Structures are given as structure tokens and as C-alpha cells.
Amino acid sequence: MDATAGVIDVVAERGLTPSAVLVTHGHLDHMWSVLPVCREYGVPAYIHPADRPLLADPMAGMGSQMRAAFLQMAGGAADFAEPEHVREVVDQCDLTVAGLPIRVLHNPGHTKGSVSFRLPAADDRPALVFTGDFLFAGSIGRTDLPGGDMTEMVASLGKVVLPMLDDTVVLPGHGETTTVGAERAANPYLREVADQLRAGSPSIPDWGL
């Protein structure tokens, strides 16, 4: 939220040239600054088509209580719109942004269009994955908001996270940086999915998310 000024400062301080805005999902706290940053630098926004409508109508991704609280905080209705250039991404598509190879991983569960962005390992570092609100250190994203689905969350954890190498660095949308190995060992949600897959009988855990 309100990240635009900070982005402008970092770009100016380091002499950078922004190439794109990558959106992990369409929730308000993750796309609040998408439009102003895209306008400032004339760059496109990349987002999964299932969450693209939230760029112009982020209220659709909020529960009624959250919507009411936001409108009260904002002093009434707020205006949102798509950036001029929007590029849709799908599962397993490959992007090259600022010379960096990026693989898109569709992981629905938190929202229908939630994605992670994975950069392969390089000579001086392991692979990196930006997970948004899909996977956190010690937790996972909630599934009780519009577009959330526990069945999809469980499937995404098994399909997307568990096959990754342990040294893959996880950069979540909130909280501390972690690794896939640390989450495989200690994240109770990921451990339960892994146990179910090993037992050959995946089901929907009652996590209350």
C-alpha cells in the first residue's frame, strides 16, 4: 500500500529503469500502487486473467466487513482502473523482464488468479520464488475471502511448492523470508499436505482458513 513514493526514491537513487509490475494476485494491498507505478514509468502490469478484473474493482476481492472498513478509512468510494498496458500470464509461461528469466506458477487457493514468480538459480544464489499471499513463513494464505478455495489451496501446495528444491528462497508478500526446506520441515499446513500425498489419500484438512 502506498509504495509509489518509495519505488520512485529507490529507482532514482540507484539509477534503475523499471521494466514491469508483476502482480501476484489482485487483492487491494498488493495492487494499490500498480496503476501509479505503471503510469510513472510507462510499463505494463502482468497478472493472471482470473484476477485481472480486480485491478479495476478490488472491492470484489474483499469480504463485506473488510470492504466496509476500507470505505470508512478511505472516506467513501475509491477510484481504481487498469493500467494502460496489461499483459496476462498463465501457468508455466516464461517471461523475460529486465533480462531476468521468470517462470509463472499458477497457484489458486487464496484467489482464483494467484500466481508465484520463480527465478532459476544463478551462479551466486539459489532459485527465488515470490509467493504473494500463497505461502508464508510458517503459514499459508487465507481461503475465506471471495475467490478463495481450500481444495485449490491444497492442490496448489502439493503441485507448486513440494516439488521445489529445499534451498529455494521464498519471498512472501508479508512476513519473513524463508526457504522451501524450512517450510517443508516446519510449516504445519505444508507438512499435512505432504503427509497426505505420501499416504496416497489427499483430503481437505479442516484448517479454518
- Distance (Å, whole) CA 125 – CA 176: 18
Band of pLDDT at residue 85, cut at 50, 70 and 90 = very high
State residue 88 phi and psi, 5-degree precision. Answer: -85, 145
- pLDDT over threshold 90, residue 172: yes
86 versus 77: the higher-pLDDT residue is 86
How confident is the model over 7-18, as pLDDT tens digits? 999 999 999 999
Q: Given a cut of 90, is residue 139 above it in pLDDT?
A: yes
Is residue 54 a contact partner of residue 62, using CB atoms and an 8 Å limit? no
- Percent of the chain's residues with pLDDT above 70: 91
Domains of the chain: 4-199 (3.60.15.10)
- Show the cell assigned to 76: 467513501
- The three cell numbers of residue 185 are 520441515
pLDDT band (50, 70, 90) for residue 140 = very high
